[in-house]
Structure 1
């Protein structure tokens, strides 16, 4: 099936005053990936799945999407994303209802892909979650967060995109002990694991555990971990992350907010035999210094830090270092504007970068989008944001971020109502305007989807590094 990307640009209002048309040429997309994978996805009742496709290049991108179900692959479906534009695919519109699906996205031009899902989970818990895809399978995946406490339901989604069946081994890391189990995943299939059930079978006398995961396969898979919750009996929703493929000694997170209606956590997985000594540096929006926080996480264990108790109220970013290789996530739970309750989660990133891309974004009615930017350097940086519009073309804004601080940009205020948008952010050092800078970027969004489903979701951008990595 051939489909021109659903740009939904007809009748959209003009962007807000002060946002100028970009004078630069369209972005060369040769450095961007041509393949993206997503392990999770569903067309079950109450779930609404999308793929957001960002084509910043000067040529149209022909995109082939294959969906992998519990019974095998469906497709490919062919879509065309015009140059310098953002496209949207409503997955439910192409597949039968009631399917659990992974996706493989292949393009003849470089692009960026994300997958937002909005839901009413089991007819009760409303919300949404999002993640960017990954570009290749991995033999190992790590997840720092996870819990089977009352009010939480955790799942592991595994995509096997290869033409051979694979044995998948899952390590369950609690604060005290590690257990492993193995499962078979057929070739070009999707597999789903109920973590609550697995934990109850492993520890029948203690089924309510905080648990991190290590997922291994012989030839390479993709793994995501969705969670759905009734947080403290008040805030319902769900969040998701793509796993990390390797632990590291240094991690960054651009977003973090502490208030009575926002609760922020840090989750740490230490997959090593030895203890890990960890330091968390907090970067405030006003640049004010906060004392670093140090602690120890024992080997082969999971540890959780409640950030609200550590820093009080305000906006924060995080720089995390460790003497051992670890994995870090940051779940947040909230009642946004005291109206839209939910939660979102993100894995930390291991490096700052001079350039970031984000495929999803919207200022439609009932959606509020932000950009969170961390400047980890000791020098002021200038950040140029190019909004890639659904009708094609860029709009541009810029701002400066002081040294070692966090900055928040309200996208709705820049663009006005009614737009679907993707993003490119580029950092330059103020002292030398031609020297690339280094920043970290996340994009939280809060919403009342369809006028009925409240929540929020977040993801990091896709980085392009100056060293070509």
Structure 2
């Protein structure tokens, strides 16, 4: 278990600025077109004692073969102290849906392969839960690797994917899942490193009700190093995942990744767990869906700034409906081998979407490929639904306190297999303003067969998990799931700061 404190004033960008915890809305339709309530901009779990929740896992294949691009498994994690019942419906890209009822014991997790219910090139899952304290994630496995990804807790009429590629040796698929009875009509636009594209085949595209439609971007937007995508519904709402695979040929990364898009832009995005070892590449991709240029700071907050210093922020302008990718390690201002967090902040109030890509080369301790949309919210309670899985080479949870003034206190509870415990060093943890801490879960997952983690305390924090796979040579970074009645937006801005104006936390 390690800890660092970060520059406090730089973190004013994520102060709560008078924000109050909002009660979770039940329908995405309450927001204006193109926007989501802040507590639906990311997956959010219902608190224990709630009537229930609904989860949407859009992307994956269900061929029942080891050769499937991304065979789809859904994990239902019950962190409450009572049993819950879930109804899982698999929606294939071809054929009829199939349903299974799942009983999930207290403090336990159940995994279901969609290929056990349907056989199709692609399949999505709808999980309807009776009871609270439940979070759902999904797992994809294929010839190129293995990945965990977030499932949505609400549909939306917009989805943004700032980071993508169709370079040689890679494949990019958008999985469009319409869980409703009526058809959805969508437009898909792309911004690439050589300009914006609006393929005619993807305008007024109909996604039938109760159906998953897989769009292979690589077949239309070919051989582009950088591809950002926007999915916007003219009518209806849906859930969209991005599946990316690389076969390692022609210099392409080797790995598999699944990413739930950002359903709304935001002024602030947090990435708690930056790369801290050699052999990795790390980029931040920004997409501006608005009609005004966004002036954006990307601040890298190095561990132990007294020793490692404070790098100048990346200051960029992102034009309307355009994207930009920043190579975090490219110009030398961020030293290789130093762990860090990243704060993305709009200086002029024009919100953007932000996504981090991590590539571990063959020389890295953990080769692989991972894409993560940042956290635009804070919370005092977070769930890590999958903190261990068979074939992992190690796992960790990172918790940060982004406040510049308030101390956060929390306990991390490990649970699974029907039991719960607080490991040594995980109880009554105190994080000073600007401090983060890494909790190593060990290669034995603290002795749990199906480990989950709950972060619970006073003050708002951000949680993120990471683990590598010993089989398939891949890695995953994934934000924890905030619990709805503790969520608040990460808002606030600061003016220009020079290094000698920065006061270090602590």
- Flag whether TM exceeds 0.5 (same fold): yes
1:225 corresponds in structure 2 to 242
DSSP 3-state at the match of 1:196: helix
Could you tell me which of 186, 190, 211 is aligned with 2:208? Answer: 186
Contact 1:156 1:192 in 2 (8 A): yes
Counterpart CA distance in 2 for 1:234 and 1:197 is 17
State the 1:258 CA deviation: 4.4
Counterpart CA distance in 2 for 1:296 and 1:136 is 31
Could you tell me which of 355, 359, 382 is aligned with 1:333? Answer: 359
State the 1:380 CA deviation: 3.9
Counterpart CA distance in 1 for 2:52 and 2:369 is 29
User: Unaligned stretches of 5+ in structure 1?
Assistant: 1-26, 201-206, 428-435
Counterpart CA distance in 1 for 2:60 and 2:371 is 17
Q: Are residue 248 (structure 1) and residue 266 (structure 2) matched? A: yes
Counterpart CA distance in 1 for 2:443 and 2:224 is 43
1:198 corresponds in structure 2 to 220
1:432 corresponds in structure 2 to none
Counterpart CA distance in 2 for 1:246 and 1:33 is 24
Alpha-carbon spacing, 1:336–1:362, altered in 2? closer, same or farther (3 Å): farther
Counterpart CA distance in 1 for 2:395 and 2:294 is 36
2:232 corresponds in structure 1 to 216
Could you tell me which of 40, 45, 52 is aligned with 2:75? Answer: 52
Alpha-carbon spacing, 1:72–1:163, altered in 2? closer, same or farther (3 Å): farther
TM-score by length of 2: 0.77
Q: Are residue 342 (structure 1) and residue 365 (structure 2) matched? A: no
State the 1:267 CA deviation: 0.4
1:433 corresponds in structure 2 to none
DSSP 3-state at the match of 1:138: coil
1:163 corresponds in structure 2 to 181
Contact 2:387 2:445 in 1 (8 A): no
DSSP 3-state at the match of 1:147: coil
Counterpart CA distance in 2 for 1:462 and 1:336 is 31
State the 1:337 CA deviation: 8.1
What are the superposed Cα offsets for residues 73-119 of structure 1, whole Å, 9 maximum, x if unpaired? 42210010012222222333x23555410000001112100001121
Counterpart CA distance in 2 for 1:325 and 1:468 is 19
2:280 corresponds in structure 1 to 262
DSSP 3-state at the match of 2:221: helix
Alpha-carbon spacing, 1:340–1:283, altered in 2? closer, same or farther (3 Å): closer
DSSP 3-state at the match of 1:383: strand
Contact 1:84 1:388 in 2 (8 A): yes
Counterpart CA distance in 2 for 1:151 and 1:277 is 34
Counterpart CA distance in 2 for 1:466 and 1:81 is 23
Counterpart CA distance in 1 for 2:363 and 2:440 is 15
Contact 1:102 1:159 in 2 (8 A): yes
DSSP 3-state at the match of 1:443: strand
Q: Are residue 299 (structure 1) and residue 315 (structure 2) matched? A: no
2:30 corresponds in structure 1 to none
1:13 corresponds in structure 2 to none
What are the superposed Cα offsets for residues 27-80 of structure 1, whole Å, 9 maximum, x if unpaired? 961359511001112123224432221112232111100011123542210010
Q: Are residue 35 (structure 1) and residue 54 (structure 2) matched? A: yes
Contact 1:33 1:135 in 2 (8 A): no
State the 1:281 CA deviation: 2.1
What are the superposed Cα offsets for residues 151-175 of structure 1, whole Å, 9 maximum, x if unpaired? 3211100001111122221011224
2:397 corresponds in structure 1 to 371
Q: Are residue 116 (structure 1) and residue 139 (structure 2) matched? A: yes
Alpha-carbon spacing, 1:103–1:415, altered in 2? closer, same or farther (3 Å): closer
Q: Are residue 386 (structure 1) and residue 407 (structure 2) matched? A: no
1:83 corresponds in structure 2 to 106
State the 1:336 CA deviation: 8.1
Could you tell me which of 414, 424, 436 is aligned with 2:454? Answer: 424
Contact 1:364 1:417 in 2 (8 A): no
Contact 1:43 1:97 in 2 (8 A): yes
Q: Are residue 143 (structure 1) and residue 167 (structure 2) matched? A: no
Counterpart CA distance in 1 for 2:137 and 2:305 is 31
* Structure 1: 4+ residue segments shifted above 6 A: none
DSSP 3-state at the match of 2:367: strand
2:89 corresponds in structure 1 to 66
2:340 corresponds in structure 1 to 316
Alpha-carbon spacing, 1:209–1:338, altered in 2? closer, same or farther (3 Å): closer
Q: Which has the higher contact order (CA 8 A, sep 6+)?
A: 2
DSSP 3-state at the match of 2:342: strand
Counterpart CA distance in 1 for 2:399 and 2:479 is 10
Alpha-carbon spacing, 1:467–1:440, altered in 2? closer, same or farther (3 Å): closer
RMSD: 2.5
Q: Are residue 353 (structure 1) and residue 372 (structure 2) matched? A: no
Contact 2:356 2:372 in 1 (8 A): yes
